[in-house]
Amino acid sequence: MKKILVPTDFSPIANNALDIAVDIARYNGAKIELLNVKMYPVADVGAYYSLYGASGFTIDEKTWADVLKAAKLELNKLIEKYEDVSIKPLVEETAGDFVSSVLEHKADLIVMGSNGADGLKELFSGSNSEEIVRLASCPVLVVKGSVKTFAPKKVVLTIDFSHEKFLKKAFNNLPLKDAELHFLHVDTGLKAINYKEDDDKMHKLANKIGLKNCQFEILNAATVEYGILEYTEKINADLIVMYTHGRRGISHFFNGSIAEDVVNHSDVPVFTYVEA
């Protein structure tokens, strides 16, 4: 892995994401691009200034230039404490949307914070993190809560036996070699399964990838999302690794995404990768 992209709005959750990205960069020698996206107020100047606490002013070129300059200074101040990691500060302006601006950057991993399903209308709301998880062409690590360091002790690996590339992506990018690994297959009762056969499949998959210190669980739950979250809480895991279909358009409308739902409702970081 060569480059980690970290979007930031300078909020505490975004700063936590940067802390974790730095831990990962130290582990694998990657460089970081720290990106702050400024939404140019083409359609609604009043809404923009309300967001940034300057309601009542009329924007002009100098004012906008000051906004960009202040953002660059804040980025530089933010990265001062990480002297041992290469971090490139980026300020970009767009009249489009935050998600598109993030996805335009090519990276080997995106690490971003998310407030999850709390209803906050911010750049790092659940809806934006869900969309990035669904549309990104690289793996995404969504940071939740107040985690400051990244050294997972217990990891839930969600599987359905039809995808495994996401597992290799996780182990190639993240410091997981000392973690206790929990393979999880959720049985929702929609189709008959052979528990002994599925347990054997989990063992074979772990051996194929060369993983040790593994435990295997088949869990009955009403939904896959609920099963993953329930099991994660039960064992006090500190990371979930899963794939997503990355559905778009009407397919996503009717089918949704289990990964997006987990990202939105999980209390621990979630690593995802789009597999067809």
* 7 and 138 housed in the same domain: yes
Confidence of residue 250 (pLDDT cuts 50, 70, 90): very low
Give the mean pLDDT of 90-109: 87
- The answer to whether residue 148 is domain-embedded is no
Are the C-beta atoms of 105 and 136 separated by less than 8 Å?
Answer: no
List pLDDT tens digits, range 144-196: 877 778 999 999 999 888 888 899 999 999 999 889 999 999 998 877 778 88
- Helices first, then strands: H and E counts in the chain: 10, 10
Q: Give the Cα separation of 98 and 209 in Å (integer).
A: 36
Whether pLDDT at 255 is above 50: no
Boundary (domain end) residue, out of 112, 143, 174: 143
For the purposes of burial, counting CB atoms within 10 Å of the CB of 4, is it exposed (0-12), middle (13-18) or buried (19 or more)?
buried
Average pLDDT over residues 77-101: 89
In total, how many domains does the chain have? 2
Residue 175 neighbours by CB under 8 Å, 6+ apart: 23, 24, 27, 150, 151, 152
- Shared-domain flag, residues 24 and 123: yes
- What pLDDT score was predicted for residue 212? 84
pLDDT value for 123 = 45
User: Which residue, of 143, 178, 211, is where some domain finishes?
Assistant: 143
Query: What is the pTM (predicted TM-score) of this model?
Result: 0.86
pLDDT in tens, 19-61: 999 999 999 999 999 999 987 765 444 554 555 555 444 567 7
pLDDT, residue 247, reads 56
H-helix or E-strand spanning residue 158: strand 154-158
Q: What is the percent of the chain with per-residue pLDDT over 90, rounded to a whole number?
A: 49
Q: Residue 146's pLDDT is what?
A: 76
Residue 183 belongs to domain spanning: 154-274
Q: What is the pLDDT of residue 57?
A: 47
Is the domain of 254 the same as that of 203? yes
**Cβ-Cβ contacts under 8 Å for 208 (sequence gap 6 or more):** 164
Q: What is the pLDDT of residue 122?
A: 42
For 8, residues 6+ apart whose C-beta sits below 8 A from its C-beta are 14, 15, 17, 18, 34, 35, 36, 75, 78
pLDDT at 116 over 90: no
Name residue 157's beta-bridge partners: 183, 241
